[in-house]
Amino acid sequence: MSTFTTLALLATTALAQVTIPATNGSLPAAVGNTGCAAGYYPGTSQVIYTVPYTYQQVLSIIGNYTNLTWSGSPDNSVTTNDSKALMTNNWGPGDARFYDIAGAHVIETILTYSKPANGPYVEVHTLAPLTVPAANVSFYSDFDGQVYQPICGGKATTGNYTINFCATNASVASQVLSMLHMTDAVTVGTFLGGKNFTSCAALGAGNATSTGLPNATSSMPAMYTGAAANIKAGVLGTAMVAAIAFALCL
């Protein structure tokens, strides 16, 4: 059985394992020089993943802030406090999305949102504090960014999921977030037909390569000041991480 199929099967058992203490979109104040609240430590996770589908195809899956079917939240389970954006699909800073998982509440508030017709798609939001009991970790983020950029002359699209966070255990949080984001990125490709990217040449695009992905920016500090957490394979049991994977869209 493929890793992804295993993830998908395990994911159906995930919902009861997540509780989220966020009550509004605010983030804790920093203390000391880590940029984090007391008992929280800075870390980061980055996932880069290319799908052999066009930017427009990818946007058809991810281009609506309150449609998270690609991240495991059912249709119409995500709400927002911007009813105008919901109608026009035209999102911007301050727009928040809210969704419930096993009675808990996720709040993600946009800092930067841009989706020009030919890319890149750039979205950065904050993540209010939440807890993942199965991993015994709590975290929040002032920079949870996604960039999608066409490559191979438009025949493929590369996603860059980068989150800077404060967590009660930075290495555990980094691994959980990397797994979540990799699962999300793979699911976008699955929704579009399930082909895997190998090379530009295989798509008939010669051997063209990307000229470099743009970086996400926001009015918030782009990075916490602390050192990046190492993503250490095997810190968490694979099954446990997988069980969390479909439960959140972070």
Ligand X SMILES: *[C@@H]1O[C@H](CO)[C@@H](O)[C@H](O)[C@H]1NC(C)=O
Q: What is the largest CA-CA distance in the chain?
A: 53
**Cβ-contact 110, 147 below 8 angstroms:** no
Among residues 93, 194, 221, 237, the one that binds ligand X under rule CB under 6 A: 194
Taking the complex as a whole, the smallest distance from the CB of residue 13 to ligand X amounts, in Å, to 21
**Binding-site member from 6, 12, 196, 225 for ligand X (CB under 6 A):** 196
Q: Is 57 in the site for ligand X (CB under 6 A)?
A: no
Binding ligand X (rule: CB under 6 A), the pick from 109, 174, 178, 187 is 109
* Closest distance of CB 125 from ligand X, Å: 10
What is the token pair recorded at 219? 């009015």
Question: Which residue do the tokens 């609240």 mark?
Answer: 37
Residue 168 contacts ligand X per CB under 6 A:
yes
Per CB under 6 A, does 212 bind ligand X?
yes
d(CA 213, CA 151): 9
Q: Which of 10, 37, 106, 107 binds ligand X (CB under 6 A)?
A: 107
Q: Is 140 in the site for ligand X (CB under 6 A)?
A: no
Which residues are paired to 138 by β-bridges? 131
Does 210 engage in binding with ligand X (CB under 6 A)? no
Residue choice 11, 30, 213, 220 for contact with ligand X (CB under 6 A): 213
Count of CB atoms situated within 10 Å of the CB of 196: 10
- Number of continuous H segments (helices) and E segments (strands) in the chain: 5, 7
Beta bridge mates, 114: 122
The strands making up 41-51's β-sheet, listed across from edge to edge, are 41-51, 156-167, 137-151, 121-132, 104-114, 96-101, 78-80
Residues that bind ligand X (CB under 6 A): 2, 4, 23-26, 46, 48, 61, 64, 66-67, 69-70, 75-76, 81-82, 86, 89, 94, 96, 107, 109, 136, 145, 147, 160, 162, 168-169, 171-172, 191, 194-196, 201, 206-207, 212-216, 235
